[in-house]
Structure 1
């Protein structure tokens, strides 16, 4: 029933995100750098990379009329605990919560992109999340 209600709400709202609230969560931060990739004299961390991606996404969405909030401040080193990130999204009445990560794997054959959305073992899922994840996956792969 929840999935049907959400699907109907999506249909009635239309495809535009104008006026909606999107919370972007650049993963990791603070003392947790996430994946660290040494690249010759340069070194980058997952936390820095996803913060940069989140800032770019924030600018594009805001320019399109979307209300956007990052869970980390303007400096890549700032960080909220996971529970506070979720509380922030809930307090803002977020329509969409996007968590960005650039995972790594020890196996050099591991390759590709994964897109996830909210779901439980009981089959409860977010119709909005499922639709957005599908769109994101399709665009990244293309």
Structure 2
């Protein structure tokens, strides 16, 4: 419960000692920072925490509904399909972005600014990487010249 809540709410804890508190069944509630670090040390993974208890990954294919009299040329339809496929393969769903949100309750504003900058930096870097990956999957993009 502690690990899941910490990850889902993107909690930022601080240690009031020297960041090596002994964590066991009796002392685990004394230092949340060291408790969370111990979770990571024993192999618990952020990525393994689901955002919603009942939600499982489902491949939902959304189809665009066009008016009956509208037809795409074969070439245009192929291009649309390639761009759509590149987007789906590159960008995370909104559910996956939940791990980048922060808990802004009054109790946890001590290190919120630093935490926000870290999250902003991490998310910005990932966005740039994903945009480049997406562009490389677009037909003709890699053959464009910079001039």
When Rg is computed on C-alpha atoms for both structures, the one with the higher figure is 2
Per residue, is there more strand in 1 or in 2? 1
TM-score (norm 2): 0.23
User: Scaled by the length of structure 1, what TM-score is found?
Assistant: 0.24
More helix by share: 2
